[in-house]
Homo-oligomer: A and B are copies of this chain.
Amino acid sequence: MNKLFFGAAYYREYLPVERLQEDIQLMKEAGINYVRIAESTWSTFEPQEGEFDFSSVTTVLDEMHKNGIAVIIGTPTYALPAWLAKKYPDVMATTSSGKNIYGHRQKMDITHPAFLWYAQRIIRQLLQATATHPAVIGFQIDNETKYYDTCSVGAQIEFVKYLKKQFNNDTDAMNNAFGLDYWSNRIDAWEDFPPIEGTINASLGCAFKVFQRSLVSRFLGWQADIVKEYKNDDQFITHNFDFDWRNWSYGIRAEVDHFKTSQVLDITGVDVYHPGQFHLTGAEIAFAGDIARVTKDQPYFVLETQAQAFKDWTPFPGQLRLQAWSHVASGAVLIGYWHWHSIHNSYETYWKGLLSHDLQPNPVYYEACTIGAEFNELAATVTRFSRRSRVALVVSNECLTAIDWHPWKGHQFNRDTLHQYNDVFREYYDALYKMNIEVDIIAIDDDRLFRYEMLIFPLLYTVSDERLQQINHYVEEGGHALFSFKSAFADENMKVRTCVQPGIISKAVGAHYQLFVEPDQTLLHSDVLTLSPEESEVSDWMELITPDENTDVLARYAHPYWQQYAAITHNHYGQGTATYIGCHISTAALGEVYRHVLSNTLYQHEPLPTEKSPVIIKRGFDEHNNIILYYFNYSSEPQSVLFNAPTGRLLFSGNTITQNEAITLKDWDVQIIIVETAK
């Protein structure tokens, strides 16, 4: 793909006035070359059962095509018509909070046959009406699909059959694996299985989440198979994954496995939302990209990202362009705004599009025009280059769910926030992001895991013996592993190991512990890490580590009773090294650990990057090892960076730049330089 798709979600059905021609004109002026349509308006297409009308879609297809704008068709299955919920109330999911009622989207039971029957019919009808249209370049199946906390009877029955199969019909095997003797929770006949939403057994609870996530993969796979019956070979199937949500995209989703599910897609798509204005850092853009790109080792789509959105996200001048090029630098080849125009009614009225409700050009739209022009000019060049990471962070939905049961922050049963896993994961990610170490994010069970020079494991809590032994082997063979606290604690059924912790990886790590305690303002004491007192603070979790004889202690605890224990260790094992961080430390301290470990391993023979956040640098390579360099300034202050290759070409100006010349970056600016080392 040597094209950059630039566009928006377009909802002609939502607009209170007819203005398709005006919209297309404004789109063309902005360099918009695709729109995504049709993904939320089932009731418009099928206003009454079996009565179909796709004229709103076909009109858009015809007019877009005439104007050279491509179209992605979305299947409209994430929002049900009222008549369907009225006729078959069971299509609304029963969750752990009770039966959903109609109104909000994504409240259906994606396993219920009545829903599936009507869903496949609307998909087939829509595709019959549109799939062969020359405007259509591909299909988005459903939208940000999750399992919606489905605990419906059908899902529960299916889960029991799933366990029955997993345990070869042997309840004893399950009771043992899950520890169900505790509090008399044993199940000695499958028909006695209690309602899953009541369980207090973390192992069983996590097994159910694995099952629920598999429902999402199955549902999207089923939709993909239907779409394949209608699409031609040039048309792609994609889907827009979203992320954990803390008023913006944050960490991985508990309710869907991005890696497994992306296998049913041709191209992985993501929706990326992030803080703006003075709080824009680019971290969420990079994070989402470092997952999406890796799912299929391929360029990916940003099917949704913010234009104006909320009052606190409406971009400062320059930020929209900075964001767009950041996506490209991470490997995106499609940037789509959510959405073209702001919506005049209902729920998301204040989640604004490129156009305000006035549907007129405005400062944000005008900045999009600049981006469109730049994309058009540079697409062929920039898409030649792809990313290569020497380091990977290893992610696990199972660990995320497990940490939800046994959080590390706050007192037992009084947890601060849900998904504390993502806090640690993002801290381990962000510290690398800030020091311009480029990474991939990969799942723990991925076959490609060991292709990296360094693997970082935040909260690798629940994982099989076999995988841990492979990690030991990876280190032995020269890999570098870095683990956070609580890693390797429990087996794949969330059963805590009965060996001295951190168990199997103690071999590589060269250290062990028996007790963990509350830091209560404990500081790190270190001879090798340079930290202020504030940066030294240990919070929420600390393991009392005893290193083996030859293991390096990077930090100990400054504490009247625990000063003899290590906090952070680093060990040479075989040809590689293993680092263990036994406590929750500041991002600054993480950076120092990374600096120490990297300069003694991957960067032993070259300097670490000198630029740091808010200057962010990304790099791509083509098949001849030519390099493309992106320099981003994520701040309101101008920045200056010394160019450190012999010579390069500035893409926006066409000027040449030579070694040690200053690259100047205005506030919220980007520069792109090509270094043709291959010549």
Contact = CB atoms under 8 A, between A and B. Distances in A.
Interface of A: 11, 13-14, 16-17, 40-44, 47-48, 76, 79-83, 85-86, 101-105, 176, 178-189, 191-195, 197-203, 247, 277-278, 308, 310-312, 314, 316-317, 342-351, 356-360, 362-364, 406, 411-412, 414, 490, 493-501, 514-518, 520, 541-542, 560-561, 636
A101 B198 contact: yes
The 4 closest A-B pairs by CB, nearest first: A179-B345, A103-B198, A312-B518, A79-B184
Contact of A182 (B178, B346, B362): B346
A357 B497 contact: yes
B345 A182 contact: yes
Contact of A16 (B16, B364, B495, B517): B495
Nearest to A667: B560
B41 A181 contact: yes
A40 B182 contact: yes
Contacts of A176: 16
Contact of A179 (B197, B200, B343, B364): B343
Contacts of A17: 498
Contacts of A348: 182
22 contacts: A16-B498, A44-B186, A48-B188, A82-B187, A85-B194, A104-B200, A179-B343, A179-B344, A185-B346, A277-B518, A314-B518, A344-B495, A344-B497, A344-B498, A345-B493, A345-B496, A350-B406, A357-B498, A357-B501, A358-B500, A359-B498, A363-B514
B411 A358 contact: no
Given A14-B182, A43-B186, A186-B82, A360 B514 contact: yes
Contact of A47 (B83, B186, B350, B518): B186
A350 B412 contact: yes
Most buried by B among A47, A85, A182, A500: A182
A310 B277 CA distance: 41
Given A81-B184, A351-B412, 5 more contacts: A86-B193, A183-B347, A312-B518, A344-B496, A362-B515
A40 B202 contact: no
B199 A103 contact: yes
B181 A14 contact: yes
Given A82-B185, A312-B518, A351-B412, A202 B48 contact: no
Nearest to A543: B311
Nearest to A45: B184
A194 B86 CA distance: 7
A193 B82 contact: yes
Contacts of A542: 311
A517 B311 contact: yes
Given A41-B181, A308-B515, A496 B342 contact: yes
Given A182-B346, A186-B43, A247-B414, A316 B358 contact: no
A202 B346 contact: yes
A247 B411 contact: yes
A203 B345 contact: yes
A495 B310 CA distance: 18
A490 to B, nearest CB: 8
A49 to B, nearest CB: 10
A493 B44 CA distance: 20
Contact of A105 (B79, B183, B192, B310): B183
A80 B347 contact: no
Contacts of A199: 103
A175 B288 CA distance: 37
A103 B345 contact: no
